[in-house]
Amino acid sequence: MNNSFDFVVIGAGIVGLTVAYELIRRKPNARIAIIEKEAAPGMHASGRNSGVMHCGIYYGSDTLKARVCASGAKRMIEFAKTEGISYRQTGKVVLATSEEQLSSVEKLIDNARKNEIPAELIDHQQLREIEPYAAMGPAAIFCPTTAVIDSAAVVHRLREILQAQGVEFFFDCCVIGQDNDTYLKTSQGLFSYGFLFNCAGAYADTIAKYFDLAEDYVLVPFKGIYWKLSPTANPKVRSNIYPVPDISLPFLGIHFTRVISGDVYLGPTAIPAVGRENYGKLEGLSLLEGGVISLQLLKMYLRNENNFRMLAHLELGKYNKSNFLQAARKLMPTLTLDDMIPTEKVGIRPQLVNLNTRKLEMDYILERTAKSLHVLNAISPAFTGSFAFAEMIVDQVTGSL
């Protein structure tokens, strides 16, 4: 087997797939490999997300997220139209539930204006027409361009397109090191490359450290658990109902999402987890990784940066259904325990902590060597913005290609 490639992409999540898609578009004769430790693409964040195409209202105009979110969403919908993938553009409402959130509402509207995103303040009557059961708070924003998409179908179709164009996939292949920016060491042997893209999601920082990068960062995972509305309660939500987020944190808070299947999910939480794949109580745990992450969580708890202590207490409490309901009722006061039914849906948000500032990183981070680029902290809205994000990533190294 000749494991010599012009480009090697680590990770077959949405970022890795769209980077390969962008590479083959620019270099149709290039030899490209995608290396993935799982048996199929999109097994983690890309296959566990809600499929929401975010409009970009949450992100300041000076962020990489803002640069790719809205344009990426448009390109994703164009891809869906071309490839016959299901999507639905129904918009969403963002609700302020207290007077203290009004300054954040102003910030969101300012973001929308600067990022040229359609968004408007709506009154109680307009809110009733859009979401009849939503809480009537001091302010509400309507974002008409928010959509939902069949994210699993996107991942599946990208794999088909890439394979048809000659991109080679290596599944069940784990990266274990690198040698002088020339060879990648894997469980399936050495891969030589002209240029390497590290799009490994929750493991991107680990792989970057093989290249003497990401030294100022440590990863802390947060677990997102969900409930689903029962068949009788399902009609209470027409599209998407979100809270005004705490802009000092990267989490949007519990919200209601009508996904492409028609089910309505409540979630996710942001519970500190002790493993990058800690989807269940004990699933995805290792003593070494769990010890390192637990130590970092303890430091964050003691320092209490970004009011982390209160966040941890509130989120851990949401393992309890009654506490989860209490949070959801801020958006829908008529919700009851019987309206919520269990679901196996759960995800992990791999969040980087900056060891110098001791704060959670809020934006994407790109680091590189002469022959490699590493996509760190590729958190939401990475799926939404993926086509535009991939273009930006490849643009970073145009002179090296």
Q: Where do the structural domains in the chain lie, given as residue ranges? A: 1-89+147-216+363-401, 92-144+217-354
Name the one residue in this structure whose structure tokens are 């699933």: 283
Cβ partners under 8 Å of residue 381, min gap 6: 54, 56, 59, 65, 69, 72, 73
Confidence grade of residue 289 (pLDDT, cut at 50, 70, 90): confident
Nearest to 49 by CA among 290, 323, 267, 359: 267
Q: Give alpha helix (H) positions in 245-383.
A: 287-303, 308-317, 321-328
pLDDT (mean) for 347-364: 91
Q: Determine if the pTM surpasses 0.75.
A: yes
Q: CATH classification of 92-144+217-354 is 3.30.9.10, yes or no?
A: yes
Identify the DSSP state of 80: H
Report the top-level CATH class of 1-89+147-216+363-401. Answer: alpha beta
Tokens found for residue 269: 């939480």
Cβ-based neighbour number of residue 160 at 10 Å? 10
Identify the DSSP state of 167: P
Instruction: Tell me the Ramachandran region of residue 358: left when phi exceeds 0, alpha when psi lies from -120 to 50, beta otherwise.
Output: left
Q: Is the pLDDT of residue 249 over 80?
A: no
Q: Tell me the CA end-to-end span of the chain in Å, nearest whole number.
A: 24
Report yes or no: 130 and 90 within 8 Å, Cβ to Cβ.
no
Tens of pLDDT, residue by residue over 72-117, are 999 999 999 999 999 999 999 999 999 999 999 999 999 999 999 9
Q: Is the pLDDT of residue 398 over 90?
A: no
